[in-house]
Structure 1
Amino acid sequence: MQVQVIKADQDIVREGDRPSRSCLLLSGFTCVYKITAGGKRQIVSFNIPGDIPDLQSLHLKVLDNSVATISQCRVGFITHDDLRDLCNRYPRITSAFWRETLIDAAIFREWVTNVGRREGVSRMAHVLCELLVRLKAVGLVEDHACDLPITQSEFADALGFTTVHVNRVLQQMRAEGLIELKGERLTIPDWERLKQVGEFDPTYLHLENDQAAA
């Protein structure tokens, strides 16, 4: 694995690329996104440490999306030849990769439902719940608080809002005591209430450690 530090707001791979390696996110946050013909960006997922956001490139020759850094990231690049060798020698690793892609698909389905059918505070609450649960699963949450270096503009691109609307939604959530934001630090004062507002059920994340969803 070749480890590289990449600055924030940089593309790791781009739609149309034919990569010969995949990237393992060691630290930091990235996002998967697509660009419309009019130049608008739609973020379709956020990635946290431990994710391999372009794992599909192991079997799909041409990427149909881009992956970009949100914060400064440490990324480990693994060649597809090495990944194939691992899969051939260790069936349990192959099974883990297959499970990873299925969970990614489940998350995409939930995001389509969230953006298509929920509104305002509920839509934002759902994404915040997801991020908190996933970060807790990898040990990056303490007392329902975590570092979250995602800008309002990036939330807007993920949720189908304008940046102004994201600001209003966050202000409303603060006023209602659903969240506390100090810089990049997110704290959830009432986890059960936030889950209720976001209609959040972590089943689609398929966590093996039930405590991570608590």
Structure 2
Amino acid sequence: MSAEDRLALDQLTTLRLRRCGAREDVISEGEVPRDVNLILSGWACRYKQLEDGRRQILAFFLPGDICDLNVYILREMDHSVAALTPLVVGELPRDALEEVMQRHPRIAKALWWETLVNAATQREWTVSLGKRSAFERMSHLFCELFFRLRAIGFTSESQCELPLTQAELADATGLSAVHVNRTLQELRGAGLIQLKDRVLRIPDLRALKEAALFNPNYLHLDHEGRGLDANRS
């Protein structure tokens, strides 16, 4: 993007900021969406909750992610977005966002790119729930999060922050909490991960990718991202 594009984005994302505490809903199912939510810091998730309290996490949001680009078109939310950690959200007004997209074609293209990547990621999660074993499912999720965090500069060599509880991992992978615990022990025993104090360390990324049958093509990393993948894994 040009310097002008970046300036427009900076101005847009600082128009209105909102802070949320961990486990607090950014927006709940049934609410009327008015703004587009951009994650500026912290982790969040998209989820659906059944009437008996069971929850399915549908996506994780990291810094720089837009929760739903065109959500304001809907009359009401059909899902919820919640903070998993303390969160800072930029609330992008509909009119201001549409104006920026009209004036800056490269920004509009980048936003559509993100929408397509989100759809591709959702397809991959569906494959995990339908076809991958628990071992593959958890390995795949860790690979995905590591690659996404590395793309935004949030990894240090072979490790990254992972502020997710076992209950949240269960809600994301469709496993029971007991099964998640057992699967994490299997991954540790195989030497594929080290997980302690909210930090995930991957001693051998190539080995974890092979265990997960992980192909990062659905993340559609840019040229620099693909180069990092080739050099580091």
Question: With structure 1 as the length reference, what TM-score do the two structures score?
Answer: 0.96
Any idea what the Cα deviations from partners look like across 1:77-121, whole Å, max 9, x if unmatched?
A: 111111111122222222111111111000000000011111121
Deviation at 1:212, TM superposition (A): 4.3
Query: Is the contact made by 1:20 and 1:80 (CA closer than 8 Å) also made in structure 2?
Result: yes
Count matched residues.
214
CA distance in structure 2 between the partners assigned to 1:34 and 1:15 by the alignment: 8
Which of 226, 229, 232 pairs up with 1:210?
Answer: 226
Distance in 2, matches of 1:90 and 1:210, equals: 26
For the pair 1:103 / 2:126, whether they are aligned, the reply is no
Match of 1:178 in 2: 192
> Which of these residues, 126, 129, 149, is aligned with residue 115 of structure 1?
129
Which residue of 68, 76, 97 maps to 2:82? Answer: 68
Counterpart of 2:183 in structure 1 is 169
The answer to whether the 8 A contact 1:6-1:74 is kept is yes
> Unpaired runs of 5+ in structure 2?
1-14
Q: 1:4–1:76: 8 Å Cα contact kept in structure 2?
A: yes
Match of residue 155 from structure 2: 141
> d(CA) in 2 for partners of 1:212 and 1:78?
32
Mapped pair 1:13 → 2:13: no
Decide which of 187, 193, 197 is 2:201's aligned counterpart.
187
Give the fraction of aligned pairs with identical amino acids, expressed as a percent.
43
Matched, 1:25 2:35: no
- Displacement after TM superposition at 1:144 (Å): 1.5
Please give the secondary structure, in 1, of the residue aligned with 2:155: coil
**How large is the RMSD of aligned CA atoms in angstroms?**
1.3
Q: Which residue in the other structure is 1:3 paired with?
A: 17
Residue matched to 1:78: 92
Gaps of 5+ in 1: none
Q: What's the CA shift string for 1:107-158, capped at 9, x where partnerless?
A: 0000000111111211100000000000000000111200110110000001
